[in-house]
Amino acid sequence: MPWPWRRKSRRKLARIAIEGPIASGTRKRVLKALREVEKREFPALLLRIDSPGGTVGDSQEIHAALLRLREKHCKVIASFGNISASGGVYIGVAADKIVANPGSITGSIGVILRGNNLSRLLERIGIQFETVKSGLYKDILSPDRALSAGERQLLQELIDSSYGQFVSAVAEGRCLSEEEVRRFADGRVFSGAQAKDLGLVDALGDEEQARRLACELAELDLEKTKPITFGQEKNRFAGVIPGRSLFSLALQWLKLELSSSGQPLWLHRP
């Protein structure tokens, strides 16, 4: 027999916000929040997304968790904010419905892997790398030399594989054919209004419009049902540094860029 607070949750709306770059910290926070939403048996989730994208694996794990939540009969409505591109789209297409502002920036469907060829600079300042490796491709994307033809082909195959997974997720989530998705999935960005014409979003409106849609789908009281937010990110600098939101975002980006010992594979962001 479910606990009383679980029965009460069935008449309420959950909310989770995904803001900023999507990386391991975002994944851990969102997955924990989704487990709580599932445990408390909320009938609907309002997923607010304001993100330029992020790493492939983290976006895929959040996408998979949302699909599992839907299997538990929880309606998921995504609300695109200022920007919901690339990894934000990957996550968003796991929702039942997507609502975007007419001017939201979205799209940017693609995958990118970047390295730096500093060989000419290193040669000019007299720096040489000495490399001992166990296999032909172990030092791929090393900054002291250009890619070989074989390395470029290998990386292109990797990108194509991840891109195919992205296209498949969008096609399945939006009930489009992969051929239709590939026509516009070349990294370009769209406004929310353009995305609606392409079938990437269902309706134009703000977060309040998305809340109302979630209530309608879950048969909740439109006027009385207010979202309960889970998984809010703690800001350790709040109240200490003026302009802390911008400062926190800068720190987040810095941590994101330095967190990988190798080259991160990104879902392309504008």
Residues annotated catalytic, as ranges = 86, 138
In angstroms, rounded to a whole number, what is the distance separating the alpha carbons of residues 167 and 86? 11
191-193-196 Cα angle (round to 5) = 110
End-to-end CA distance of the chain: 49
- CA-closest candidate to residue 15, choices 48, 63, 38, 43: 48
In angstroms, rounded to a whole number, what is the distance separating the alpha carbons of residues 268 and 237? 29
128, 122 Cβ separation under 8 angstroms: yes
Sign of the alpha-carbon dihedral angle for 198, 203, 208, 214: negative
Residues 6+ apart with CB under 8 A from 21: 51, 52, 53, 54, 252, 253, 256, 269
In angstroms, rounded to a whole number, what is the distance separating the alpha carbons of residues 152 and 163? 16
